């Protein structure tokens, strides 16, 4: 058998393994309830089905009052266009839409493998190291834009690297089209442009015809900016950037705690790297890391808070939080160190690309984005998998395969546990809406609700109406539902309402992605400085209020919003 045929068969087998593993990991979550910003993407998809040339031409309530969708969403429309197509073919149910995005996750995994082939000798394990992370599995179990952006990202890099190495303008043009698609899926995709320019400049040592294809994404993005300005009175490309900058400047804890939080989110979301520590670093480094961990735990136990999150409670030090924070922090340091060490040792275009890829994502997520969240860490996942294998290759040589596979087992278990916890949290909103509809919808004149995320999707299906704090008029006898774990909440005065019920729904009892008491804030570090947390999880509370008098919503408000 020829070497090329053997290599081709190996690649086909590896792709089959990757596909099977992604299916095995995500199929159990195919009926997962819609959660967090899924609602916004689904609303835009509905609009695209009815008027595809005016994708944001409708109003919605998200920040407490009705606003144009063009002012609410900070993501471009390509992912929602895909959802509209999937829904047209298979319907709007959870299984249909999640099934469509399961296909995207497979495409991202295969792209990661093909890209890893260009950088390391163990591309399959490198790809699995990126898949078996909480950030990949959780993000791939949503219908938001993040995994789709990652799929375009890795394929764009693959064709760019191949095109530069082989001087094939066609591959560079294909990469440029994928960069444009990546940017129109999530604006962060624009960061690919300086990334590929840096790679080509180091590889070729001069500007040449390779730069011409990059005019494609620049022209497409300029056209998108102009088009959205004409349609909505603001260019949405720059509007998203100004929004991120404005809110990033309002982050309270300061640059030191922002750095720590960025490292914690990186280490937690990509916790696979932690399980590879013994294969990555010398014993002296590992011992130093263990000492640093103990010192960090001691230092944290003496602090009153990390940023805005309290470490000391009425019962003393929150040890579970302190330990998890310390572990994730060291994991984040290890990941950045991997990129730096690889660049210093190899000093070539490949190592520079990986360094800029990791550091650029870290800087954006930690300092430039409106809020630190796991979704912003996701682009790092394939790069970290590649760096892990490159480090093992330089420190251990080829060696046996099984010691390199073993760390994937605990990594997969943690990633699946976190994904399950996130799915259970999402399910509580669907369960709450079902119970509320059966208990109250037929017995009251108007069923109002506050809170958004997936709860808004299911309450609207149940016939509920979101409270518009500027326009809604609530009548005596109306019922208002207010979830405790939600955003943009406006408590009502007890002079016009009476609390008549408190419904509780159990999510996971031991792991959560969004739980303020545990410090878990996967979708926003406003909830906590950990991307996820293990510990006792309280039930999700839904307060039921009866309006005792008629009043405009703005007049019923008790205080500024809770969050």
Quote the pLDDT of residue 563.
42
- Is residue 412 assigned to a domain? no
Q: Does residue 110 sit in the same domain as residue 190?
A: yes
Supply angle C-alpha 513, 515, 519, rounded to 5.
Answer: 90
Q: Do residues 99 and 8 touch, judged by C-beta distance below 8 A?
A: no
Going by the DSSP 8-state scheme, the letter that residue 478 receives in this structure is: -
Rounded CA gap, 106 and 24, in Å? 11
Quote the pLDDT of residue 202.
94
Residue of 239, 142, 254 lying closest to 523 (CA atoms): 142
Quote the pLDDT of residue 240.
66
* Per-residue exposure over 396-427, b if at least 16 CB sit within 10 Å of its own CB, e if not: eeeeeeeebeebbeebbebbbbbbbbbbbbbb
For the packed helices 408-436 and 453-461, what is the interaxial angle rounded to 10 degrees?
40
Residue of 46, 77, 72, 74 lying closest to 60 (CA atoms): 72
Tokens 């924070």 appear where? 325
CA 24 vs. chain centroid, Å, equals 21
pLDDT lower than 50: segments of the chain: 1, 398, 560-563
- Is residue 190 assigned to a domain? yes
What are the tens digits of pLDDT across the range 85-123? Answer: 999 999 999 999 999 999 999 999 999 999 999 999 999
Domain termination residue (choose one: 406, 435, 463):
406
Two tokens, residue 271: 């916790």
Q: Does residue 331 sit in the same domain as residue 382?
A: yes
Residue 465 pairs in a beta bridge with: 448
Quote the pLDDT of residue 557.
87
Question: In Å, what is the CA distance from 59 to each residue of 34, 370, 488?
Answer: 20, 23, 17
Q: Does residue 328 sit in the same domain as residue 242?
A: no
Rounded CA gap, 111 and 149, in Å? 12
- Is residue 449 assigned to a domain? yes
What are the tens digits of pLDDT across the range 383-434? Answer: 999 999 999 988 765 456 778 999 999 999 999 999 999 999 999 999 999 9
Rounded CA gap, 36 and 455, in Å? 8
Burial class (CB in 10 A: 0-12, 13-18, 19+), 117: buried
Q: Does residue 233 sit in the same domain as residue 174?
A: yes
- Is residue 75 assigned to a domain? yes
Can you give the residue range of the structural domain that contains 284? 251-406
Going by the DSSP 8-state scheme, the letter that residue 539 receives in this structure is: P
Q: Does residue 338 sit in the same domain as residue 475?
A: no
Q: Does residue 349 sit in the same domain as residue 489?
A: no
Which stretches does DSSP call E strand in 373-510? 447-449, 465-466, 473-474, 479-483, 497-505
Q: Does residue 482 sit in the same domain as residue 359?
A: no
- Is residue 484 assigned to a domain? yes
Quote the pLDDT of residue 251.
58
Question: In Å, what is the CA distance from 42 to each residue of 68, 91, 336, 346?
Answer: 15, 12, 36, 45
Q: What is the count of structural domains for the chain?
A: 3
Rounded CA gap, 67 and 234, in Å? 14
Q: Do residues 463 and 447 touch, judged by C-beta distance below 8 A?
A: yes
* Per-residue exposure over 282-293, b if at least 16 CB sit within 10 Å of its own CB, e if not: eeeeeeebeeee
Q: Does residue 368 sit in the same domain as residue 233?
A: no
Q: Does residue 435 sit in the same domain as residue 399?
A: no
Supply angle C-alpha 216, 219, 225, rounded to 5.
Answer: 140
Q: Does residue 207 sit in the same domain as residue 314?
A: no
Domain termination residue (choose one: 406, 434, 455):
406
Q: Does residue 454 sit in the same domain as residue 530?
A: yes
- Is residue 433 assigned to a domain? yes
- Is residue 413 assigned to a domain? no
pTM of the model: 0.93
Burial class (CB in 10 A: 0-12, 13-18, 19+), 123: buried
Tokens 């997969």 appear where? 412
Quote the pLDDT of residue 248.
52
Going by the DSSP 8-state scheme, the letter that residue 441 receives in this structure is: I
Q: Does residue 61 sit in the same domain as residue 78?
A: yes
- Is residue 411 assigned to a domain? no
Q: What is the 3-state secondary structure (H, E, C) of 153-185?
A: HHHHHHHHHHHHHHCCHHHHHHHHHHHHHHHCC
């Amino acid at each position: 058998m020829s070497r090329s045929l053997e290599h081709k068969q190996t690649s086909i087998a590896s792709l089959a393994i990757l596909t099977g593993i992604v299916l095995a990991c995500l199929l159990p979550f195919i009926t997962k309830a819609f959660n967090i910003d899924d609602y916004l993407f689904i609303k835009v998809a509905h609009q695209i089905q009815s008027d595809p040339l005016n994708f944001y031409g409708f109003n919605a309530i998200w920040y407490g009052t009705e606003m144009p969708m063009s002012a609410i969403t900070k993501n471009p429309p390509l992912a929602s266009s895909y959802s509209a197509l999937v829904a047209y073919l298979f319907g709007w149910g959870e299984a249909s839409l999640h099934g469509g995005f399961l296909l995207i996750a497979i495409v991202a995994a295969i792209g990661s493998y093909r890209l890893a082939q260009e950088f390391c000798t163990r591309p399959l394990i490198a790809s699995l190291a990126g898949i078996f992370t909480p950030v990949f599995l959780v993000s791939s179990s949503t219908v938001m834009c993040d995994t789709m952006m990652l799929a375009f990202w890795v394929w764009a890099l693959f064709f760019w690297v191949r095109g530069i190495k082989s001087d094939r303008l066609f591959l560079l043009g294909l990469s440029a089209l994928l960069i444009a698609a990546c940017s129109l899926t999530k604006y962060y995709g624009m960061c690919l442009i300086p990334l590929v320019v840096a790679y080509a400049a180091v590889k070729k040592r001069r500007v040449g015809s390779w730069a011409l294809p990059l005019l494609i994404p620049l022209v497409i993005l300029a056209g998108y900016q102009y088009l959205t300005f004409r349609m909505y009175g603001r260019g949405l490309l720059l509007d998203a950037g100004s929004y991120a900058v404005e809110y990033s400047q309002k982050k309270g804890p300061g640059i030191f705690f922002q750095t720590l939080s960025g490292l914690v989110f990186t280490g937690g979301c990509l916790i696979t790297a932690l399980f590879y520590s013994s294969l990555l670093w010398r014993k002296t480094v590992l011992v130093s890391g263990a000492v640093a961990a103990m010192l960090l735990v001691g230092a944290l136990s003496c602090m009153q808070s990390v940023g805005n999150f309290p470490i000391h409670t009425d019962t003393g030090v929150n040890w579970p939080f302190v330990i998890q924070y310390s572990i994730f922090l060291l994991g984040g340091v290890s990941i950045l160190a991997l990129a730096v060490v690889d660049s210093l040792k190899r000093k070539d275009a490949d190592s520079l690309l990986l360094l800029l890829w990791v550091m650029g994502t870290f800087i954006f997520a930690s300092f430039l984005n409106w809020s630190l969240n796991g979704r912003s860490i996701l682009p790092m996942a394939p790069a970290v998998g590649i760096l892990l294998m490159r480090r093992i290759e330089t420190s251990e040589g080829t060696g046996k395969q099984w010691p390199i596979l073993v760390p994937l087992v605990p990594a997969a278990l943690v990633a699946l546990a976190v994904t399950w916890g996130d799915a259970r949290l999402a399910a509580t909103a669907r369960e709450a809406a079902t119970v509320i509809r059966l208990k109250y919808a037929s017995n009251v004149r108007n069923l109002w609700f506050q809170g958004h995320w997936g709860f808004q999707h299911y309450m609207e299906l149940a016939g509920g109406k979101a409270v518009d704090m500027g326009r809604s008029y609530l009548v005596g006898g109306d019922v208002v539902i207010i979830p405790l774990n939600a955003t943009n909440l406006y408590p009502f005065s007890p002079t016009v309402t009476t609390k008549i019920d408190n419904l509780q729904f159990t999510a996971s009892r031991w792991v959560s992605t969004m739980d303020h008491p545990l410090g878990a804030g996967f979708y926003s570090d406003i909830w906590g400085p950990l991307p996820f947390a293990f510990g006792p999880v309280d039930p999700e509370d839904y307060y039921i209020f009866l309006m005792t008098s008629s009043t405009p919503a703005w007049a019923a408000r008790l205080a500024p919003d809770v969050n």
